[in-house]
C-alpha cells in the first residue's frame, strides 16, 4: 500500500468536496438559468436564448452530482446510508426537479401554445429553485446536526422528517445556496447572451451577489453564537477501524469555529466566498461577464469549502447522540477499496476534465436572438 489508511481518508474527504464544488460551479449555472427563466427573458425568443445557452452542456454538468453521490456511496457508505435515508423526501424533491428539467427543456418549444410554453417555464423554475434551496438546507442541517443514532449492530435509527429539516438556520443556508447559484447563472448568462438579456442578467446577478454576501455573513454570526458545534474528545486513530460508536464527542456553542482557531489558513475559505461575490458584483455592474464568472466560481468554491472546513473531521453530525456522529476517521470504506478507487480517479478524472474543457471551448460564444430567428442549429 503506497498510502496509509488515514491519508486515504483525508484524500477522499477532499475529493468529495472537490466533486461538490464541481457540481455547484458547473451545474450551478444550469440551476440558476432555470430559476431566472421566468424573469430575465421578456418574450419567447429570449426564453429560447436562455434554453440554448445551457442546452448543449447541462447533461454533462449534471454528471458531477452523480459522481458526488457515487463517491459518497463507495468511499463513505455510512454517510450515504444515513443521508439518503434521513433526507429521503428532500432527496425525492431534488430528483423531481432533475426530472422536470429535461422534460421542460425538451418539450418547451414543441408546441406553439403560449399556455404550454409558460407552463414549461414554471416547470424549469421549480427544477432550479427547489434543488438549489434544498441543497443549502441540507448543509444547514449538517451544521445543526441530524436526529439519528445507531444501535449496537450499527443499524441506523433516524427520527426526523421533511418538515423537521426546515429550521430557521437551515432555511438561511438555503437562501445562501439560492443566491449563490443565481449569481453564478447571471454571470454565465451575461457571457452567453447579448443585448437586453445580458443587461438584465447583470442586474439580477448584482442583486443575487448582495443577497449572498449578507446571508453568508448572517450565517457566519449565527454559527459563532447560536449553533452547537462538535469536537472529538478522545484520541482517535486516523487509521483505525470504521466504527462510529467508539469515540467521545463534546458539544459547545460556536464549536464549529475551532478549526479556524487551530488552523487560521482555513479562514481563506470564507474570505474567498466573500471576496469572490464582491468582485463578481462589481464585474457584473461594469458589464465584465468573463471576470464575473471566474469570480463567482471562486465564491462558490469558497462557500462550499467553508462548510467543509467548519465540519471537519465530521461528515454528518448527530443532534440526538453526538457520540454517534459520522467522522472521516470512522465511517469510510476499507483501505483497499479507497486505494483502488483512487487509482481509478487518477486515470479517469483528467479525461473528464479534458473533455469538459474541450466541450466548453468548442461551444464558446454567445447565443443571440438573431441566430434563433434564423433557425440556426439550435435544438431547443
Residue 356: Cβ within 10 Å count: 17
Of 86, 150, 126, residue with least CA distance to 322: 150
pTM across the whole model: 0.91
The reply to whether 378 falls in a domain is no
Number of domain units in the chain: 1
Cα→Cα distances 134→150, 155, 174, 186, 220, Å: 25, 26, 6, 20, 19
pLDDT at 379: 61
The reply to whether 333 falls in a domain is yes
Tell the residue number behind the cell numbers 442578467, with chain if given. Answer: 201
CB–CB of 289/202 below 8 Å? yes
pLDDT at 223: 95
CB–CB of 250/231 below 8 Å? yes
The reply to whether 166 falls in a domain is yes
pLDDT at 377: 58
The reply to whether 37 falls in a domain is yes
For 89, the domain range is: 5-373
The reply to whether 347 falls in a domain is yes
Element at 156 (helix H, strand E): strand 156-158
pLDDT at 335: 92
Could you read off the pLDDT tens digit of each residue along the chain, which spans 380 residues? 578 899 999 999 999 999 999 989 988 888 878 888 888 888 877 888 888 888 778 777 888 888 888 888 889 998 888 888 788 888 889 888 888 888 877 777 677 777 777 777 788 888 889 999 999 999 999 999 999 989 888 888 888 888 888 999 999 999 999 999 999 989 998 988 888 888 999 999 999 999 999 999 999 999 999 999 999 988 888 888 888 988 999 999 999 999 898 888 999 999 999 999 999 999 999 999 999 999 999 999 999 999 999 999 999 999 999 999 999 998 899 999 999 999 999 998 899 889 888 988 888 887 777 777 776 555 66
Give the Cα separation of 306 and 291 in Å (integer): 22
The reply to whether 380 falls in a domain is no
Number of H helices, E strands in the chain: 14, 6
Amino acid at each position: 500500500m503506497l498510502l496509509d489508511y488515514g491519508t486515504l481518508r483525508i484524500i477522499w474527504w477532499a475529493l468529495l468536496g472537490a466533486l461538490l464544488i464541481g457540481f455547484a460551479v458547473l451545474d450551478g449555472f444550469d440551476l440558476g438559468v432555470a430559476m431566472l427563466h421566468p424573469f430575465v427573458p421578456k418574450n419567447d425568443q429570449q426564453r429560447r436564448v436562455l434554453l440554448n445557452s445551457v442546452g448543449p452542456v447541462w447533461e454533462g454538468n449534471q454528471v458531477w452530482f452523480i459522481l458526488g453521490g457515487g463517491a459518497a456511496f463507495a468511499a463513505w457508505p455510512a454517510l450515504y446510508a444515513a443521508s439518503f435515508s434521513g433526507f429521503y423526501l428532500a432527496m425525492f424533491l431534488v430528483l423531481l426537479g432533475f426530472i422536470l428539467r429535461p422534460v421542460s427543456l425538451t418539450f418547451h418549444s414543441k408546441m406553439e401554445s403560449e399556455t404550454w410554453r409558460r407552463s414549461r417555464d414554471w416547470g424549469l423554475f421549480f427544477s432550479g429553485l427547489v434543488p438549489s434551496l434544498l441543497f443549502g438546507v441540507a448543509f444547514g442541517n449538517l451544521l445543526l446536526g441530524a436526529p439519528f443514532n445507531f444501535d449496537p449492530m450499527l443499524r441506523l435509527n433516524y427520527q426526523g422528517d421533511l418538515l423537521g429539516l426546515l429550521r430557521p438556520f437551515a432555511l438561511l443556508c438555503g437562501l445562501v445556496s439560492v443566491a449563490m447559484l443565481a449569481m453564478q447563472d447571471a454571470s454565465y448568462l451575461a457571457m452567453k447572451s447579448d443585448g437586453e438579456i445580458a443587461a438584465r442578467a447583470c442586474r439580477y446577478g448584482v442583486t443575487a451577489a448582495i443577497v449572498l454576501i449578507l446571508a453568508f455573513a448572517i450565517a457566519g454570526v449565527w454559527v459563532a453564537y447560536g449553533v452547537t458545534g462538535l469536537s472529538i474528545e478522545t484520541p482517535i486513530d486516523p487509521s483505525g477501524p470504521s466504527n462510529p460508536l467508539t469515540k467521545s464527542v463534546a458539544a459547545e456553542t460556536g464549536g464549529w469555529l475551532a478549526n479556524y482557531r487551530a488552523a487560521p489558513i482555513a479562514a481563506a475559505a470564507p474570505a474567498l466566498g466573500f471576496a469572490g461575490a464582491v468582485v463578481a458584483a462589481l464585474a457584473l455592474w461594469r458589464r465584465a461577464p468573463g471576470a464575473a464568472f471566474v469570480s463567482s466560481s471562486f465564491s462558490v468554491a469558497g462557500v462550499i469549502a467553508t462548510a467543509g472546513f467548519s465540519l471537519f473531521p465530521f461528515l454528518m453530525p448527530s443532534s440526538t447522540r453526538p457520540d454517534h456522529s459520522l467522522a472521516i476517521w470512522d465511517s469510510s470504506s476499507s483501505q483497499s477499496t479507497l486505494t483502488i478507487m483512487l487509482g481509478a480517479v487518477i486515470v479517469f478524472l483528467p479525461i473528464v476534465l479534458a473533455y469538459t474543457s474541450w466541450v466548453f471551448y468548442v461551444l464558446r460564444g454567445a447565443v443571440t436572438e438573431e441566430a434563433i430567428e434564423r433557425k440556426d442549429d439550435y435544438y431547443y
